[in-house]
Amino acid sequence: MGVDIVGLARPPGLLEISPDLARVPDPRDFADADQAVTALYQAHAVGLIRLAFVMLGDRPTAEDVVQEAFCGLYRRWSHLTDPAKSLPYVRSAVLNGCRSVIRQRARRDGRVAAEPPAASAETDALIGEEHRAVLAALRLLPPRQREALVLRFFLDLDEPEIARSMGISRGTVKSTVSRGIAALGQILGEDR
Amino acid sequence: MNTLEDRLRATAQAVVDVIPAGSAPPLHLAGPQRRRCRGGRLRLSGRRGWADWIAPIGAAAAVVAVTAVSLAATHGWLRPGEAGAAAGPAGTPAYYVSVASSWHAGGDAAVKSTATGRTLARVSAPRPFSSFTLVTAAADDGTFVLAAQGAAAELRDMQRSPGLVRTQPIALNALAAASTTSATWATNLPGMAADDLQQQMTSRTTVTQFFMLRIDSAPSAPRLSALPVPLESQPVTGAALSPDGRKLAVALASPGQLTIQVITLATGSVRTWRGETWKTPSLQPDSHPSINTLSWTADDRMLAFDWQGPSTEKPGQHVPLDLSVSELSTNAPGSNLAADSIPVFPAGYLIHYPGNAIVAPDGKLIIGSPLSGLVPNVRPTDTQYSTHSPYTVRSLWNFTGSADRVLWTNATGSVLIIATGFGSRDGMVGVLTRRGLIPLRSLGVPYSALVANSGEIAW
C-alpha cells in the first residue's frame, strides 16, 4: 500500500462529493424490497439526514425522519410502478416528514416557527458561529423557500430534481430559489 | 458566484463535517422495527395521548437509573467501568487509556471517557512490575496493550518461589482481573526459567512485559491478561497494536541499533528487523536515534514508523534532532530494517522540533510538527520521497496552530486528536476536524508529558 502524506497547512479544498452521493444503485438490480431499500439507504441516507438536519436543526429527529421515510418506501415497495423513482419518492417523504415535525413542534410550543432543540455542544463547535447564523436564517424562511434552497445548495440538485422532490414545476423552482435567496439576504443583513 | 451563495455552500460543507459519510445509523427492517415499518407510524417529537404521560414517567425512571448508577460508582457498589461512556466528539473513540510512569509516581493505567475525561477504571501493574510505561490501542474502542516495567531481580525472586509454575506459557484469553494479586500473576508468568534470568540479567536490569487490557461494553471491569510475548530487556521506545488487534509492533532501542519486532498475538511468533545507526557518545543517552511512533494500515501489512535523533554523527557537537518516516512491509521476507523498509518522508525536513507521524488505516501519513501546523518545510513541488514511487505532500485543513504530536487518527485521517499549543502556556489536547479544534478537557495527562513521550496515551 502506498502512503499518501497529508499535512495541515493549506486552506480547505473544495466541497467534496461524498461517495455515498456519487453511488446510485438501481433498485431494479435487487431481488427483493429488503435488498433494494437497504442499498438505497446505504447510498443516500447520509445526504438525506443532512437535508433533514438543516431543515430541523436536530440530528436525532433528522435520523428518525429519514428512517421513517425509508420504512414508508419499504411498506409501499410492491405498489411502486417504477422502482427507479424510489429516490425522488423517499426524498419527498423526508421533506414531508420534516414538515410534519415542524408542525408538531409549532403545535406543541404554541408558535408558528418552533425553535429546534438546543444543538449539542459538539455540533456547535463543529458548525461554528458563521454557519449557525446561516442555518438559523434558513429556518426563518417560508417552508417552500427553505426546502428549495436546501435542495439546491445542500444536496446540489438541479431544477428538474428539485421540482420532482417538491412536486412543483421547474419555473416555480426557479422563482422560489430566487425569492429564497433574497429573503435570506435580508435576514442576514446582506445586500445582493 | 455571489457572496450569499458562497455562504450557503460553506454552510453545506460544515454540515457535511458534522454528518460525515458513513455516519448514518443502520436501517432497521427486521424484527420489531420491521413491524414498525409495516404497520406503524413513527412518532416524532409530538407527544399526544398516552405518550403525554408515559414519556415523563420514562424520563423520570431514566433519571433514577442514571442516578443509581452514578451513586453506585461513587460508592464503589459497581466496579469501575460499569457505567460505560458515550462516544467522544466527532466520532472519536469513547475510551482512552493513559499511563503515568513518566510524570506521576505509581505508574497506574487509567481508563477514561473521551467525552468527559472521567476516570472509569484504574489498573495497577501486577507485581513484580512496578509501573505501566506505554499503551497502544486497537481500532475497536476497547482493546489496549500496556507495557509494564519491573526489576529483573524481583521477577527472578518470584519465579523461584516454591509452588509457582515458572515456565507455564500463558493463554491469551486466560484473563486475570484488574486487581490481580501477585501470586495469581506469578503462576502465569511466560516461559523464562529463573536460571535464564539469572544468567541474562543483572540485578539492575529492567524488563518489560506486555499485557492486554479489554474494556467490554457490558457492565464489567476492564480485564487484564499477560500476552504470550517474551520478556523484553531492551528499552521499549514505542509500540502499536494493529487495528484488528492481531499484531503488536514493538520498537526497541540501544546505542547503534534500532529494532522493530512484530508479534502475532494468536501464536506468539515474533519477527524481528534490525538496523544499524550511528552512536553519539558525547550526547545525552536519550538523543540516540530511536523509533517512537509506530502505526499500522488497516490491512495489517504495512507498518509506518518514524525515527528521530541527531541527523548525523558529530561527537561533541550539538546537532539538531530530525524526523524520518519509513514504511515496512511486514509480510515480505527479510530482517534488515534499512533494506526492507521504504523511506516515505526523508530526514532533513523537520529538524529541531520534529513532531511525529502516524499512518491512517487508509494509508494517509499524518505528520505533526510544532512549527506552524504540519510539514512546514515541505513544498508541494517536492514530490520524490521514495525510490519506489512518488508521494505527494498535500494539506488538509486550515489549521494554523501547531500540531505538536498526532495522537490518534480516524480511518481516513479526516479527524485527528492532537496535542497543540507549542510555545504557549496553554498546551492542550483536542479533536481536530476541518471545522476546528474541540478541546478535550480533564485529560489527566500533562501536556509536557504527552509531547515529550510516546505512548503515554492511546485511543
Report percent pLDDT > 90 for chain B. Answer: 9
List Cβ neighbours of A147 (8 Å cut-off, separation of 6 or more): A55, A95, A98, A166
Does one domain contain both A110 and A178? no
**Domain boundary, last residue among A118, A139, A154:** A118
Report percent pLDDT > 70 for chain B. Answer: 54
The average pLDDT across B8-32 equals: 75
A54 contacts in chain B (CB < 8 Å) = 15
Half-sphere exposure of B33 (CA within 13 A, CB side): 12
Domain contains A39: yes
Domain contains A78: yes
Supply the pLDDT for residue B248. Answer: 95
Interface contact A20, partner B, CB < 8 A: yes
Domain contains A5: no
The secondary structure of residue B254, as a DSSP letter, is E
In this structure, how many other beta carbons lie within 10 angstroms of the beta carbon of residue B28?
A: 14
Supply the pLDDT for residue B250. Answer: 94
Q: What stretches of B170-264 adopt beta strand conformation (E)?
A: 176-177, 206-214, 223-226, 236-241, 247-254, 257-264
Residue B93: closest CA among B433, B314, B336, B410: B410
Interface contact A191, partner B, CB < 8 A: no
Domain contains A38: yes
A187 contacts in chain B (CB < 8 Å) = none
How far A71 CA lies from chain B's nearest CA (Å)? 5
A61 contacts in chain B (CB < 8 Å) = 44-45
Residue B149: closest CA among B212, B250, B232: B232
Could you give the C-alpha distances from B15 to A54, A149, B312, in angstroms and in order? 8, 14, 48
Q: What mean pLDDT is reported for chain B?
A: 66
- Vertex B110: Cα angle to B107 and B111 (nearest 5): 155
Does one domain contain both A27 and A95? yes
CATH number at residue A144: 1.10.10.10
Helix (H, G, I), strand (E, B) or coil at B148: strand
Report pLDDT digits (tens) over B115-150: 888 888 888 888 778 888 899 999 988 899 999 988
Does one domain contain both A103 and A168? no
For residue B403, give the chain A residue with the closest CA.
Answer: A8
Supply the pLDDT for residue B102. Answer: 53
Domain contains A3: no
DSSP-based helix, strand, coil % in chain B, nearest 5? 20, 30, 50
List Cβ neighbours of A179 (8 Å cut-off, separation of 6 or more): A145
Residue B24: closest CA among A119, A34, A44, A86: A44
Record: contact B44-A65, CB cut-off 8 A = yes
| Cα–Cα distance, B198 to B208 (Å, whole number) | 16
The secondary structure of residue B67, as a DSSP letter, is H
Supply the pLDDT for residue A28. Answer: 54
Does one domain contain both A128 and A92? no
How far A139 CA lies from chain B's nearest CA (Å)? 13
What residues pair up with B294 in beta bridges, in sequence order? B305
Residue B241: closest CA among B324, B358, B416, B368: B358
Supply the pLDDT for residue B75. Answer: 32
Record: contact A3-B327, CB cut-off 8 A = yes
Helix (H, G, I), strand (E, B) or coil at A120: coil
- What is the residue whose three cell numbers read 499503551? B135
Record: contact A127-B18, CB cut-off 8 A = yes
A65 contacts in chain B (CB < 8 Å) = 44
A100 contacts in chain B (CB < 8 Å) = 44
Supply the pLDDT for residue B338. Answer: 81
Confidence of residue B158 (pLDDT cuts 50, 70, 90): low
Interface contact A8, partner B, CB < 8 A: yes
Supply the pLDDT for residue B284. Answer: 46
The secondary structure of residue A84, as a DSSP letter, is G
CB pairs A-B closer than 8 Å: 217
Q: Which of B36, B90, B393 lies nearest to residue A126, judging by beta carbons?
A: B90
**pLDDT above 90 for B93:** yes
| Cα–Cα distance, A59 to A120 (Å, whole number) | 10
| Cα–Cα distance, B1 to B129 (Å, whole number) | 65
Q: Which of B20, B297, B396 lies nearest to residue A6, judging by beta carbons?
A: B396
| Cα–Cα distance, B350 to B320 (Å, whole number) | 10
How far A157 CA lies from chain B's nearest CA (Å)? 13
**Domain boundary, last residue among A83, A118, A153:** A118
- State the cell numbers at A92: 419527498
Q: Would residue B337 be called left, alpha or beta, if left means φ above 0 and alpha means ψ between -120 and 50 degrees? A: alpha
CATH number at residue A110: 1.10.1740
Q: Which portions of chain A are predicted below pLDDT 70?
A: 1-31, 108-126, 190-192
- State the cell numbers at A150: 436546501
Does one domain contain both A39 and A92? yes
Interface contact A96, partner B, CB < 8 A: no
A153 contacts in chain B (CB < 8 Å) = 5, 8-9, 12
| Cα–Cα distance, A156 to A116 (Å, whole number) | 24
* ipTM > 0.90 for the complex: no
- A40 vs B107, residue with greater confidence: A40
List Cβ neighbours of B122 (8 Å cut-off, separation of 6 or more): B80, B108, B109, B110, B111
- B392 vs B317, residue with greater confidence: B317
Record: contact A68-B13, CB cut-off 8 A = no
Record: contact A127-B27, CB cut-off 8 A = no
- β-strands B428-433, B436-439: how paired? antiparallel
Interface of A with B in 57-86 (CB under 8 A): 59, 61, 63-68, 70-71, 74-75
List Cβ neighbours of B28 (8 Å cut-off, separation of 6 or more): A67, B34, B36, B37
- B194 vs A125, residue with greater confidence: A125
Report pLDDT digits (tens) over B249-297: 999 877 778 899 999 888 888 899 998 765 544 444 445 677 888 999 8
Record: contact A49-B36, CB cut-off 8 A = no
Supply the pLDDT for residue B55. Answer: 36
Name the phi and psi angles at B100, rounded to 5. Answer: -125, 15
For residue A14, give the chain B residue with the closest CA.
Answer: B13
- Going across the sheet that includes B119-123, the strands are B119-123, B109-113, B95-99, B457-458
Record: contact B345-A131, CB cut-off 8 A = no
Report pLDDT digits (tens) over B210-229: 998 888 754 356 788 888 77
- Distance, C-alpha A148 to centroid of its chain: 10
CB B188 within 8 A of CB B176: yes
Owning domain of residue A148: 119-192
For chain B, domain boundaries: 70-233
Domain contains A159: yes
Supply the pLDDT for residue B373. Answer: 41
Specify the amino acid at residue B214. R
Domain contains A36: yes
Record: contact B372-A9, CB cut-off 8 A = yes
B360 contacts in chain A (CB < 8 Å) = 6
The average pLDDT across B86-94 equals: 87
- Distance, C-alpha A141 to centroid of its chain: 15
Confidence of residue B426 (pLDDT cuts 50, 70, 90): low
What residues pair up with B76 in beta bridges, in sequence order? none
Confidence of residue B77 (pLDDT cuts 50, 70, 90): very low
**Domain boundary, last residue among A94, A118, A142:** A118
| Cα–Cα distance, B407 to B163 (Å, whole number) | 44
Report the domain count for chain A.
2
Record: contact A49-B24, CB cut-off 8 A = yes
Record: contact B391-A5, CB cut-off 8 A = yes
- State the cell numbers at B211: 499485557
A7 contacts in chain B (CB < 8 Å) = 366-367, 373-375, 378, 393-396
Interface contact A187, partner B, CB < 8 A: no
Supply the pLDDT for residue B135. Answer: 94
| Cα–Cα distance, B254 to B232 (Å, whole number) | 13
Supply the pLDDT for residue B260. Answer: 92
Does one domain contain both A145 and A173? yes
- β-strands A4-7, B364-368: how paired? parallel
Q: Residues B153-177, buried b or exposed e (16+ Cβ, 10 A)? A: bbbbebbeeeebebeeebeeeebbb
Record: contact B44-A97, CB cut-off 8 A = yes
For residue B47, give the chain A residue with the closest CA.
Answer: A108
Does one domain contain both A111 and A62? yes
Domain contains A31: yes
CB B375 within 8 A of CB A9: yes
Supply the pLDDT for residue B186. Answer: 30
List Cβ neighbours of B180 (8 Å cut-off, separation of 6 or more): B126, B224
Residue B308: closest CA among B329, B326, B328: B326
**pLDDT above 70 for B350:** no
